[in-house]
Amino acid sequence: MLARLTSKWSYLAIAVLFALLMLVPFNWFLGHYTTLAIFIGIYTIVTVGLCLLMGYTGQVSLGQAAFFGMGAYISAILSKTYGVNPWLAMLIAAVMTGAFAYIIGYPIFRLRGNYLAMATLGLGLIMWVLFRELGRFTGGPDGMTGIPSLSIAGFVFNTPFRRYFLVWFFCLAVLLISQNIVRSRTGRALRAIHGSEAASESIGINVDQFKVKILVLSAVYASIAGSLLVYHLRFVSPQLFDFLASVRLVVMAVIGGLASVWGAIFGAGATRILSDELLLRFGQWDIVVYGLILMLVMIFMPEGLFVRLKELYERLRLRYKRREA
């Protein structure tokens, strides 16, 4: 009963959110906020995957930019160099990235905790080096330009305004799917693994398999986001997927509250606004601020800023209600 009620509420919340998001570009018509909103949408997709992996299942990834970059580069190379339809390229990228995650999943999840963190960190670094050094395919450190746009039946997503709707369509689909997964048998199994692997096995949960599956899902999300990123920028370079990129992704997930699907929008939003608006002039030094935020959030509100704000809102609402009564 309670679960049904809350899920009805969350669908209402989704509808309201969607309506609001549709209005945003009209408010700042074609302004630079449309571009910002596109970035927020793209990074939200990656962050949701990271929340499922880290927040729900408790498996750290410091190399999520590897999957993000694979999606970007595979789409870029296939669509530009080989003239593959951009949609097909995006699909192939997602399948290849997912398959890659599946193959590395079983060996990598023999590790736990700090060791897993180090292994994923290594993965991110290796991919970054490959993006830089496989110059014949990737354009090396300079990257690639002139990547084609996505289009549907002659309608080309060649303006930020059009891409805004495209990106947020994918973003909301990913959020909805993730929320459904979280509130299911699968979601409970993932949280159970986080809670106690021993107890999970004893009640019949195939722990290794679930870890690999959620890694694959998060990799596919990251790959889709990477493809959207290159079709938006129409340009790709290894800098977008370096170690700091992985750290920024973790910061987004942490600010949003690791175990909260909807917090991902908040985390990605807050971080992108900070990067693109407030810290722009500091260039790569923004990472210092992120490091600080990461430390403060972990120390003072390990559940995440978003979750804490939600609690605060609930408390204020209760107090207000009591005063009225």
Partner 1 sequence: MTRSVILETRGLTKAFGGLVAVNKVDLTVEAGKIIAIIGPNGAGKTTLFNLVTGVHPVSSGEIYFQGALLNNVPAYKRASLGIVRTYQHVHLFENMTVLENVMSGRHARSSYGFLEAAFRLPKAHREEESISLNAIKYLNLVGLGAYAEHDALSLPLGQQKLLAIARALATEPRLILLDEPGAGLNTLEKRQLSDLIRNIREMGISVILVEHDMPLVMGIAEWVIVLDSGQKIAEGTAAQVQKDPKVIAAYLGEEVE
Question: Which residues contact partner 1 (rule: CB under 8 A)?
Answer: 2-3, 177, 180-181, 184-189, 191-192, 194-196, 198-207, 213, 217, 259
Side-chain-side CA neighbours of 313 within 13 Å: the count stands at 6
In the bound state with partner 1, the residue whose beta carbon lies nearer, of 276 and 303, is 303
In the bound state with partner 1, the residue whose beta carbon lies nearer, of 85 and 186, is 186
Minimal CA–CA distance to 285: which of 231, 244, 313, 255? 244
Least Å from the CB of residue 103 to partner 1 = 18
Phi and psi (nearest 5°) for 183? -95, 50
In the bound state with partner 1, the residue whose beta carbon lies nearer, of 201 and 276, is 201
Least Å from the CB of residue 3 to partner 1 = 8
Q: In angstroms, rounded to a whole number, what is the distance separating the alpha carbons of residues 278 and 270?
A: 11
Whether the Cβ atoms of residue 62 and residue 250 lie closer than 8 Å to each other: yes
In the bound state with partner 1, the residue whose beta carbon lies nearer, of 20 and 203, is 203
Least Å from the CB of residue 182 to partner 1 = 9
CB atoms within 10 A of CB 319: 10
Q: In angstroms, rounded to a whole number, what is the distance separating the alpha carbons of residues 59 and 183?
A: 19
| 53 token code pair | 């992996």
Using alpha carbons, list the distances in angstroms from residue 59 to 62, 92, 117, 210, 255: 10, 26, 8, 11, 17
Side-chain-side CA neighbours of 149 within 13 Å: the count stands at 15
Least Å from the CB of residue 298 to partner 1 = 17
In the bound state with partner 1, the residue whose beta carbon lies nearer, of 152 and 203, is 203
Least Å from the CB of residue 209 to partner 1 = 8
The number of helix segments (H) and strand segments (E) in the chain equals 14, 4
Q: In angstroms, rounded to a whole number, what is the distance separating the alpha carbons of residues 190 and 55?
A: 10
Q: Which residues contact 258 (CB under 8 A, 6 or more apart)?
A: 51, 54, 55, 56, 303, 304
SS3 of residue 235 by DSSP? strand
Q: In angstroms, rounded to a whole number, what is the distance separating the alpha carbons of residues 109 and 193?
A: 13
In the bound state with partner 1, the residue whose beta carbon lies nearer, of 86 and 256, is 256
In the bound state with partner 1, the residue whose beta carbon lies nearer, of 145 and 196, is 196
In the bound state with partner 1, the residue whose beta carbon lies nearer, of 19 and 203, is 203
